[in-house]
Amino acid sequence: MFELTVSVSKTYKITIASDFSLFYERVLPFIKGENVAIVTDDTVDKLYGGAMDGFLQGKNIIKIVLRHGERSKNARNYLQIINALAENAFTRSDTVVAFGGGVIGDIAGFAASTYMRGITLIAVPTTLLAFVDSSVGGKTAIDLAAGKNLCGTFYQPSAVYINTAFLVTLPKKEIKNGLGEVIKYAFLSDTVCKKDIKKFDENLIYKCLKIKRDIVEKDERESNERALLNLGHTVGHAIEKLSGYKLPHGACVAKGIAAAIKVSEKLFGLNGDTVRKMNALLKTGKHDLNNPYSAEEISAQITADKKRQGDSVKFVALKDIGKPEIVKIAVSDLQKILKANES
């Protein structure tokens, strides 16, 4: 078992275990009130819903089961959740349990943060991506027609319980998705090494979360350092959007990190050994690193992005493994570097 304390606007504990044996001790004390809303998706409910209901026996449980997938992270389902809370007379002293992957974490978190201006939120993530990324740090969101994650809040859970046994049923493609973020952490800090990634155990999840925790504690609302967590995401998001969201997020992040290595090589004049070491680390996730889009298409997509600042973007470059740096780069310069590396 591993434990991490996150101290931001709220202080809470993350438990990383290989089963549910610590759930009572670690989670139940934080479940406030008699009413508990479990927000989950149909896949997770089928697999694990019974177990979760069992743990919460004795509470007045309502369950909101959304269809699995990103398309469920929408305003209609958000209203469905908060209306269910209201209809069942939930008060500010009751609790929402987000039980699922990042989609459920984001929408349930957004609902918990806005219902009566905020009720207790417990996160029980079930995907690798949610373990190492979305369940911690307090970003909540729903998607709008105009784009992903356009509506959201910063809202921290009161407890996070990670049970790695959920990974047994997680499809390979979802594991790979999460691995894109794991690799990102391995570049952000030299505390995660190739051996850890290959071993793939609770310790790896702990190490990744420690990196995220340390960054989020310095900058909860992303005015500065938290942007480091966007390593690989500037080009990665552009590729993801160009594919019409057909390419998985984790794979796009890996392609984005490959681009970040090329940009860093140019900006910092990295030596051959450093670049070889970086590329070897990147390959640990076994992602397809080929980029199907041209430098022009990618820079046009980045220009359309709301995160752009004038003609430039904030870009996370790497001086070495474990030495990321946020730089401001003109989109035209980024395009030139990507162009020069096209094969």
Ligand X SMILES: NC(=O)c1ccc[n+]([C@@H]2O[C@H](COP(=O)([O-])OP(=O)(O)OC[C@H]3O[C@@H](n4cnc5c(N)ncnc54)[C@H](O)[C@@H]3O)[C@@H](O)[C@H]2O)c1
Active site residues: 117, 139, 181, 212, 222, 226, 230, 233, 237, 249
CA separation for the pair 5, 111 (Å, rounded): 24
Which one-letter amino acid corresponds to residue 53?
D
CA separation for the pair 289, 252 (Å, rounded): 8
Burial of residue 268 (CB within 10 Å: 0-12, 13-18, 19+) is: middle
**Residue found under tokens 């310095």:** 218
Task: Pick the binder of ligand X from 94, 106, 196, 240 (CB under 6 A).
Answer: 106
Shortest distance in whole angstroms from residue 247 CB to ligand X: 13
**Residue found under tokens 């373990």:** 131
CA separation for the pair 26, 225 (Å, rounded): 30
Task: Pick the binder of ligand X from 95, 114, 177, 301 (CB under 6 A).
Answer: 177
Give the interface size with ligand X as a residue count (CB under 6 A). 28
DSSP 309: B
Does the protein bind ligand X through residue 197 (CB under 6 A)?
no
Q: Which is nearer to ligand X, 133 or 196 (CB)?
A: 133
Does the protein bind ligand X through residue 147 (CB under 6 A)?
no
Task: Pick the binder of ligand X from 95, 134, 234, 291 (CB under 6 A).
Answer: 134
Shortest distance in whole angstroms from residue 177 CB to ligand X: 5
Which stretch, 89-97, 153-161, 167-175, 253-261, contacts ligand X (CB under 6 A)? 167-175
Which stretch, 75-83, 89-97, 127-135, 273-281, contacts ligand X (CB under 6 A)? 127-135
Close Cβ partners of 153 (under 8 Å, ≥ 6 residues apart): 109, 110, 113, 114, 140
CA separation for the pair 97, 36 (Å, rounded): 7
CA separation for the pair 60, 307 (Å, rounded): 43
Shortest distance in whole angstroms from residue 73 CB to ligand X: 5
- Phi then psi for residue 278, to 5 deg, are -65, -45
Which stretch, 65-73, 251-259, 299-307, 319-327, contacts ligand X (CB under 6 A)? 65-73
- What Å distances lie between residue 268 and 94, 136, 228, 329, CA to CA? 52, 32, 17, 13
Shortest distance in whole angstroms from residue 104 CB to ligand X: 6
Shortest distance in whole angstroms from residue 217 CB to ligand X: 15
Shortest distance in whole angstroms from residue 56 CB to ligand X: 18
CA separation for the pair 88, 250 (Å, rounded): 38
DSSP 228: G
Q: Which is nearer to ligand X, 174 or 196 (CB)?
A: 174
Does the protein bind ligand X through residue 45 (CB under 6 A)?
no
Which stretch, 20-28, 125-133, 270-278, 296-304, contacts ligand X (CB under 6 A)? 125-133
Residues that bind ligand X (CB under 6 A): 41, 43-44, 47, 68-70, 73, 100-104, 106, 126-127, 129-130, 133-134, 137, 139, 149, 166, 169-170, 174, 177
